[in-house]
A and B are shown apart, each in its own frame.
Chain A
């Protein structure tokens, strides 16, 4: 093998191979960095909201003086709902179902002398809009435990408003999740007691959410059995950046509860930009691969006589191909390792910046990027090996 390598390394052009290595390194770094950056940054758009589906919008009607005075007009009629359901931008539509009964809740830690009690309300949305562990987000009849999702605003209001001015302790989400609320539900001359357990906090849903199964059951049990028109809709769209959504909402006087549309646009543009950047990376990698292929073709061409003679004294084509295959394998491996190292350094810089902008940012790992890198490395190496094998085979067949 040593002698074969000594023979076949003749005519290897350091310039060509360094050119390939550099170009491939740039290409691979861009691809991997693009993916990693997208993963790191996209968590900004979905941070702490992991249990809600992404491309949906909450729709309400504008409240104005007339609707305040008449007490009507903020609910969606069946016709309005059907019309919205049939719009081209709508993927699916869910209704907020309000509770048709009275709810009061008390919570606190008696041993520290804190006890709150308040009137409140419940709403529910169909379970498919709540991307939550279905074993936790469920209510079983005659079970006293009731899972609840609270708006994060409520907690902030308490922590930074109430607790701050009254000198009360601030509560973290984890602490609050451990406390159970005593929920009293009444109506229809009946009363029920439940243990409310907070399973999550939402930035985007300004309501107290309970499972649809509980709401269906409780409305029947405690409600007046009047069908209530929903005042809020949950709308899943194909593309949140679609201009026709904004136009339709303006025409109808609808509002969205959060900046989902804007956020959707930003996320969409981010996807496009990262897509373009990764596309450029792929292009560079493909070109680098092309340079490598040309170099190998040239190398094999220059060494044709040597390769032919090796084959004639009994070396097999695979044996003769191996030095060049190993050469490209190690070059690709070197490129992979370098690209990952560059990625880690660059990521260190931008993460520092991101963390100062978004202190709560959940930073993901390098797993997916490493996997993509390994897949690229293996794919490129296999392709190289295959081409080299073909070239050697063509030398074998040249005289045939």
Chain B
């Protein structure tokens, strides 16, 4: 997949104040290309997480059209979505979607054992770099949200992708860890030639963005 195109897309809940929408994303023709690094800045309640949910096929309550290359995503079948989520699209959800019953390491491995994409050595080095090597065997439920964000980031890198979305990835991180996470994300995306889309409601990851959009 080389391109994600939004054509006049708008969450159904915004339909009533359609005329008041002033956004670079909603009700516009927008193309997100492979290789780009895009920041989407948003105020609360402007549909940031909704956008991620639409692109991941989790929700469909929007009007207009969203296309992967030239394919309308509403026409994709279950098996197409499974393949996309495994091989083309990765995301760090705002709510992380980790499994509290599993340890940090297991949360990463449950993804990597499906894709067999990263080596254990690579994963270990990320745990080290992000300062959570000592937390590998801790249950996710017993870790702070900031630590969980780092685990979720590592998990999102354990698959091949054309686009990676990070929904408020550093909301609970200090500057040092934000910077490390930004570097890891960017280097892995560059390695794969992928597009990076980061959303933020304030503090944002310090990356060399090719495009900054207001939601």
Contact = CB atoms under 8 A, between A and B. Distances in A.
Contacts of A399: 53, 58-60
B99 A315 contact: no
Contacts of A309: 97-99
A302 to B, nearest CB: 12
Q: Name B's interface SS.
A: helix
A316 B79 contact: yes
Contacts of B106: 3, 6
Interface in B112-126: 113-115
Interface in B188-204: none
Interface residues of B, number: 26
A3 B115 contact: no
A400 B59 CA distance: 6
A231 to B, nearest CB: 78
Q: Name A's interface SS.
A: helix
A4 B110 contact: yes
A7 B101 contact: yes
A396 interface: yes
A312 B56 contact: yes
A394 interface: no
Nearest to A1: B113
Given A3-B106, A3-B109, A7-B99, A312 B58 contact: yes
A313 B99 CA distance: 11
Contact of A10 (B101, B110, B113): B101
Contacts of B136: none
Interface in B91-145: 93, 97-99, 101-102, 106, 109-111, 113-115
Interface in A356-400: 393, 396, 399-400
A314 B110 contact: no
A306 interface: yes
A3 B102 contact: yes
B86 A314 contact: yes
Interface in B53-86: 53, 56, 58-60, 78-79, 82, 85-86
Interface of A: 1, 3-4, 6-7, 10, 306, 309-317, 393, 396, 399-400
7 contacts: A1-B113, A313-B155, A314-B115, A317-B82, A399-B58, A399-B60, A400-B60
